[in-house]
């Protein structure tokens, strides 16, 4: 390796190490309220949606390594802002039906909603049966 590429490589490594110290909002506040869904509905939502739309996010692997962790953390933040199953305001909206329509749209789109996430964690993808039951419940 030439000297210049050697120093680029070592600076890159140093930079990657320093990036790990940038503080992130990677916390799970206690849920304010658990929404009362039928058990089958709740388990589907927990599986496929709670990582970004609740305070029960399971932070794993890449969530701890910068710069990937920045993307994860900001996706979860904007996901929670759009819809949070752990807060009472959203609970009311869901039962009042306004949010139901938006959730229905997302569920019928399938993995297109967050393609990269479902590609990296295929076990989180809803099965056809789970999707059908959810859509029925969201009618």
Residue 6 vs 26, nearer CB to ligand HEC: 26
Q: Give me the residue label for tokens 């992130």.
A: 24
Shortest Cβ distance from residue 32 to ligand HEC (Å)?
18
Residues interacting with ligand HEC, by CB under 6 A?
A: 48-49, 51-53, 75, 78-79, 82-83, 102-103, 106-107, 113-114, 117
Q: Which is nearer to ligand HEC, 79 or 87 (CB)?
A: 79
Q: How far is the CB of 1 from ligand HEC (least distance, A)?
A: 38
Residue number with CB closer to ligand HEC (14 or 119): 119
User: How far lies 104's CA from each of 43, 48, 96, 131, in Å?
Assistant: 16, 14, 14, 10
Widest Cα–Cα separation across the chain? 65
- Using only the alpha carbons of the chain, give its radius of gyration: 19
């Amino acid at each position: 390796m030439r000297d210049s590429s050697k120093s680029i490589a070592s600076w890159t490594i140093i930079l990657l190490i320093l990036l790990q110290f940038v503080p992130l909002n990677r916390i799970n506040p206690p849920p304010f309220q658990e929404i009362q869904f039928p058990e089958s509905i709740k388990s589907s939502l927990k599986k496929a949606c709670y990582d970004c739309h609740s305070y029960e996010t399971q932070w794993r692997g890449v969530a701890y390594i910068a710069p990937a962790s920045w993307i994860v953390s900001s996706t979860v933040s904007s996901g929670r802002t759009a819809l949070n199953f752990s807060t009472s305001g959203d609970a009311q909206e869901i039962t009042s039906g306004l949010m139901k329509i938006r959730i229905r749209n997302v569920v019928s789109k399938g993995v297109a909603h967050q393609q990269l996430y479902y590609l990296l964690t295929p076990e989180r993808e809803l099965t056809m049966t789970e999707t059908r039951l959810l859509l029925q419940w969201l009618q």
